[in-house]
Amino acid sequence: MTTARACPAPGRRGFSLTELLVALSILALLAGLALSAWVRTTEAASLRQAQMQVAAVLRDVVARVNTAGPLAVATTTAEAVFSTGSGTLGEYVDTGAGLVAVAPSPAAPLTLPAGITVASSTFAGNTAQAWQGESDTGTFEQIPVQATAGSVTLQSAHGMTATIHLTLGGTVWY
C-alpha cells in the first residue's frame, strides 16, 4: 500500500529574491510615509505650542496695564519685543523708570520651541505695546487698555505658518 505524501511542487522551496525585494520595498515605502507624517505632526504641534506662547505673552502685556485685571500693577506701558528671524521674544514693563524685562526673568528672553521662528511682524519696530486708556472699540469687554494693533507670524522649519493678532482694544486672537 502506498501513502500519499504532501510534498511541495518540485523546484518551489520558498520565496524568490524578486518577491522578497518587492515586499521589502513596499515595507520601506510604508515606513517612509509613516515617518513623514509623524515629523509633520510633531512640527505642527510645536507650531501650535509657539502660537499659544505668543498669544499668552500678548495677553499678559494687556493684563499688566489693565487696572481691573488680576495682574494689575501701577504701570504705564507694557510691551513684547519680537526678534524677526529668531525664536526669541522679550516682555518688558515701564513703570516710569524705564523698561524692565519681566518674563521669564530679567536675564533671559522667552524661547519658542525648536524649529519655530518669528517670520514677520506688522508691529512698528517689532514691538507690541499696551497702555492704560479707553479703546472705545464697542466690544462687550470694556477694559481700560489701548494697544498697538498688529500681528506676528511664526514659521516652522518646513514652511508651516501661524499668525497671532492684537487689536486696538487689547484682544488677542489667532
* 6 part of a folded domain: no
Task: Say which CATH number the domain at 139 has.
Answer: 3.55.40.10
The answer to the question of residue 64 being in a domain is yes
Residue 95 covered by a domain: yes
- Structural domain contains residue 9: no
Q: Is the residue at 3 inside a domain?
A: no
Low-confidence winner among 63-72, 93-102, 132-141, 154-163 (lowest mean pLDDT): 132-141
Q: State residue 42's pLDDT score.
A: 92
To 5 degrees, how large is the angle CA 106–CA 112–CA 118?
Answer: 105
* Torsion of Cα atoms, 170 then 164 then 45 then 35, to 10°: 180
Give the global pTM.
0.73
Q: Using one digit for the tens of pLDDT, what is the confidence trace for 29-88? A: 999 999 999 999 999 999 999 999 898 888 888 887 775 555 555 556 888 888 888 888
The amino acid sitting at 58 is: L
Mean pLDDT of 92-97: 76
Q: What is the pLDDT of residue 162?
A: 92
What DSSP character marks residue 86?
S
Q: Is 94 domain-assigned?
A: yes
1 occurs within a structural domain: no
Element of type H or E holding 56: helix 17-65
What are the C-alpha distances in Å from 44 to residues 1, 2, 87, 154? Answer: 73, 69, 16, 12
Residue span of the structural domain in which 48 resides: 17-173
pLDDT tens for 105-131 read: 656 678 888 889 999 988 888 888 888
- Strand, coil or helix: 129: strand
Residue type, 13: R
Alpha carbon distance 156, 113 (integer Å): 10
Cell numbers that stand for 41 in this block: 505632526
Q: How many domains does the chain have?
A: 1
Tell me whether residue 160 is in a domain.
yes
